[in-house]
């Protein structure tokens, strides 16, 4: 069974940093691109970032470019999101999701259960 488990969320002050992790199991991790998608409380889905199977192709939403960094460790079957200079508007449930292929151009299936990030003083 494919499983994605996010961790690392929590309460953080504006301007500080946080690193999210996503542990993957049940599939050959280094065959697939991976993504982070977030959902602010009561709002819709927002794609945050995606990374190809070999980290050769990486993309970011304009809202986080220059502040967030996505990475992966294929040896550890893990995906990461380093979030710097956090703002109140970054408060959201952050989901990890598997792409259908090695490139970051497909659909997302499955999704993890998410980890909550709250940015507040």
Partner 1 sequence: SYVLTQPPSVSVAPGQTARITCGGNNIGSKSVHWYQQKPGQAPVLVVYDDSDRPSGIPERFSGSNSGNTATLTISRVEAGDEADYYCQVWDSSSDHQVFGGGTKLTVL
Helix and strand tally (H, E) in the chain?
Answer: 0, 11
Which range touches partner 1 (CB under 8 A), out of 17-25, 69-77, 84-92, 109-117? 109-117
Residue 78: CB atoms within 10 Å = 16
Is 115 a binder of partner 1 (CB under 8 A)? no
- Residue 116 backbone dihedrals phi, psi, to 5 degrees: -90, 130
CB of 14 to partner 1, least distance (A): 26
CB of 76 to partner 1, least distance (A): 22
Site residues (vs partner 1, CB under 8 A): 35, 37, 44-47, 50, 57, 59, 61-62, 95, 100, 104-114
């Amino acid at each position: 069974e494919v499983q994605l488990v996010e961790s690392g969320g929590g309460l953080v002050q504006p301007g500080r940093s946080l690193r999210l992790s996503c542990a993957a199991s049940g599939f050959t991790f280094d065959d697939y691109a991976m993504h982070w998608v977030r959902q602010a409380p009561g709002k819709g889905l927002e794609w945050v970032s995606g990374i190809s199977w070999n980290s050769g192709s990486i993309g970011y939403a304009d809202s986080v470019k220059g502040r967030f960094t996505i990475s992966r460790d294929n040896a550890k079957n893990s995906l990461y999101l380093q979030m710097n200079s956090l703002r109140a508007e970054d408060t959201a449930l952050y989901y990890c999701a598997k792409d259908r292929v090695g490139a970051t151009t497909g659909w997302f299936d499955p999704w993890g259960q998410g980890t909550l990030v709250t940015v507040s003083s």
